[in-house]
Structure 1
Amino acid sequence: MTERHSTSPFAGSAGSAGSAGSAGNTDGGALPPARLAYDAHTWREIAHLLANLPMALIGFVYTITMVLVGFGLTFTVIGLPLLAAGLLGSRQLGKLERARARSLLGVRVEEPSAVPLRRAGGFLPRLWLGLKDPVGWRTVLYDLMRLPWGILTFTVTLVSLFVLWPVLPFLARGLANVDRAMVRALLSPSDELERRIAELESDRGVVVDTAAADLRRIERDLHDGAQARLVNLAMGLGLAKEKLLEDPDAAARMVDEAHGEVKLALQELRDLARGIHPAVLTDRGLDAALSSVASRCTVPVSVTVDLAERPAAAIEGIAYFTVSELLQNVSKHSGARTASVEVWRTEERLLLQVGDDGRGGARLEGGTGMRGLADRLGAVDGLFVVSSPEGGPTVVTAELPWRDRVESDAAPAGH
């Protein structure tokens, strides 16, 4: 286990999962400097500049037609709906331009969040959301500006191919940089809030999928475990009832077997309940709950929990199940002799670190559930880092937002 530091291991990015998303507004890598040579970057820039004119014509004609028809028919019942539909079409043109810039210019910007029409309810609220869509209107502005720029870049690039061949790489780089700036300014998400909305929409899908998988697991465990035992128990007690008078000894043996089945069914139900939310976590917090998990691990585990107070119940639960799954991985895959768990708070973040002295080689895509853990933490603005070189040791660090516990969270269930 590496030495625990008092500051976050995610310095510079902790506290905002959105910081990773904001990086999408930068290029995928630094471009080589323009020079008197025609490399792959230069040819892609030239192709982009030559394609500017036809793409600008398409966007300009569509935008002018959409705006004129939409505003021209505003005195009728179809004018505003046509304008809102036109803005949705502008979004698609913006998506095409982002893809073109990504493939030819290396400009990587995130897709803006979708207009939440489904949650608006009613025709008029949906219409209003469509009409005030900032992404659509920025794309309209982009398409209107692109026609003169497209004519300029097409003409300069085409003429330079035959007249200014030696300096064309420098001209292409300068013109392409203006294109990059326009894409970032007008076709990227409008602000940090919009980027966070897009991330949260993606995270919501992860949460829904995870919840559905957990429900299927619980259903399967109930069907194949406790339910099957209870069916056998009912059948056994029915037979015992029939034999009670004619063969009391056989009936007594059946009752004894049924008693054993009851104990097994109760144990399976307790294990299932512990998998949903253990009572020890609700009653006594992370220290006791993680010590209980560690005691069931196949290797010795040292547990250190340094928390002056308890976080919100939801964060506490995620922390518990994260450590629980990591310790299961230690038992099943690591070949370790010892392991350790440390939990502490740094400012407004809850830090978890699970390490072992096993064979190492753990990866997020290694089939041990690491990717699922990373997705779950990401869904609540958390972070997940795996350090596991071949030969070990393995150290997994997770970071969660600290949320204060309220009274309703702190009260044990049923109290």
Structure 2
Amino acid sequence: MDTAYAPQPRGSRVPMGLRAPFSGHAWRGYLYLFLSVPLAVLMFAYAITVISLGAGLLVTFLGIPVLAGGLAGTRALGGLERARARALLGQEVAEPEPVRAAKPGLLAWVGAVLKSGASWRHLLYSFLHFPWALFAFIFATTFWAVGWGLLAYPLWRWTFPDYLGQPGIQIMGDGYGHGLYLDTPLETGLTSAVGLLIVMAGPWVIHGLTQVDRVMVHGLLGPSSLASRVSELESDRGVVVDTAAADLRRIERDLHDGAQARLVALAMDLGLAKEKLAEDPEAAAKMVDEAHGEVKIALQELRDLARGIHPAILTDRGLGPALSALAARCTVPVTVSVELDRRPAAAIEGIAYFTVSELLQNVSRHARATSATVDVWHTADRIMLLVRDDGRGGANTEVGSGLAGLAERLHAVDGLLVLDSPNGGPTSITAELPWRG
């Protein structure tokens, strides 16, 4: 986040407006504008040379490699500009997408450089930044120099009568010695006051000028929006894969420790009952009866496991009835309100169901609430979920928490999780998912 001029520190008796001209941020911004001039001249001259040389050599086989090498050079200079923006402006700009050749070799690399949009954006930056850097530096220097000069006018006004033969700064004149001069104490004081205002405005003028540089560096020297989106999707894919692997491990653990272990014990009990059937029918009948109870428990565990994978009621009847059934199993009274005119995509419906399921589990385990509500509605191209409880609050999305994992899973499908949980409660958690119906 850009913090041009931070709030006034506690205990400071100097107003922020008076401190700003002497702040490190203001002078770093001016230093950035100052250094922009030689670097912009260098990049502009380099870009002109590269284009001219490459275009001139196009009649030979050397033109294209020379142009590709020149574009690679602009990428290196762009790295210097990103580093300068990071050091002086505090702006973090990621490196653009690298040049990826389809196969090894010089020709493949040349083709990849020429096809790279980032390479041409760096060249465009070299052309556009040159005139802007000159204007920004000249304007900032003139603006601030005039301000400091007028502010210090009472100190150097004596130079006019001693060396120029006039009583002060001339505002207007007719060329015959008649004119308006700033020479009285009142006029001198007003001139100094105007200078003070200009000096105080200087840091904000510099900040405004460097904002243009920020936009240019971010837009032309950083990764393209498409590349950023691809990188984000790759990261989201990793989250989805990790989540799916964790779910498979959970299902495997539940089967191994639950239904599978119970069925193994059931098989052993039935084997013992079979052996006792001839010699002790009553004991065998009792063991069969116990095995029948184990079968019921195993079936219930399998139903619960299947419900955890994908509940049948969600497939058959939709999100409203499925959430009502989910709320009925919660240890806290839950009111459910679902306002959907149609069903979203099956995948989104499943994510919405399991999102509410996990949030209600948190309510049951951690919130110490006496009641909760679940609201679901459709707006534009999004499905909104709101889960409230009157518990103790204090929930957070810190790394490693269940809510942090849930937020990552929602982000992987272009979703969003917003938490409002002050200490003492109540807690409101809003989940937003794409509709994709």
Deviations 1:285-312 (A, max 9, x none): 0111001100011111111112221111
Q: Rate the CA distance shift 1:219–1:164 in 2: closer, same or farther, 3 A.
A: farther
Counterpart in the other structure of 2:159: none
- The alignment partner of 1:400 has SS state of strand
Task: Tell whether 2:306 aligns with 1:322.
Answer: no
Q: Rate the CA distance shift 1:265–1:50 in 2: closer, same or farther, 3 A.
A: farther
Which of 395, 400, 405 is the aligned partner of 2:433? Answer: 400
Distance 2:207 2:338 in 1: 55
Counterpart in the other structure of 1:227: 260
Q: Rate the CA distance shift 1:217–1:56 in 2: closer, same or farther, 3 A.
A: farther
Counterpart in the other structure of 1:139: 122
Q: Rate the CA distance shift 1:209–1:262 in 2: closer, same or farther, 3 A.
A: same
Structure 1 gap ranges (5+): 1-26, 405-415
Counterpart in the other structure of 1:273: 306
Deviations 1:263-319 (A, max 9, x none): 222222211111111000000001110011000111111111122211111111111
Q: Which has the higher contact order (CA 8 A, sep 6+)?
A: 1
- Indicate conservation of the 8 Å contact 1:87/1:133, yes or no: no
Aligned-pair identity (%): 60
CA deviation after TM superposition for structure 1 residue 139, in Å: 2.6
Which of 66, 88, 91 is the aligned partner of 1:107? Answer: 91
Task: Tell whether 2:82 aligns with 1:98.
Answer: yes
Counterpart in the other structure of 1:182: 216
Deviations 1:56-111 (A, max 9, x none): 89989999999989x989999xx87x998997897676466435423421335566
- The alignment partner of 1:28 has SS state of coil
Q: Which stretch of the first structure deviates more once superposed, 41-50 or 84-93?
A: 84-93
Which residue identity does 2:392 align to in structure 1?
Answer: R
Distance 1:244 1:326 in 2: 51
Counterpart in the other structure of 1:342: 375
- Indicate conservation of the 8 Å contact 2:20/2:26, yes or no: no
- The alignment partner of 1:287 has SS state of helix
Q: Which stretch of the first structure deviates more once superposed, 243-252 or 287-296?
A: 243-252
Distance 1:86 1:306 in 2: 59
CA deviation after TM superposition for structure 1 residue 54, in Å: 9.7
Which of 214, 217, 220 is the aligned partner of 2:247? Answer: 214
CA deviation after TM superposition for structure 1 residue 366, in Å: 8.2
- The alignment partner of 1:107 has SS state of coil
Q: Rate the CA distance shift 1:150–1:266 in 2: closer, same or farther, 3 A.
A: same
CA deviation after TM superposition for structure 1 residue 195, in Å: 4.5
Distance 1:176 1:83 in 2: 31
5 Å-filtered alignment, 1:7-406, equals 28-31=2-5, 37-45=21-29, 48=32, 94=78, 97-109=81-93, 112=96, 114=97, 131-142=114-125, 176-177=210-211, 179-191=213-225, 193-245=226-278, 247-365=280-398, 369-404=402-437
Q: Which has the larger radius of gyration?
A: 2
TM-score after normalising by structure 2: 0.66
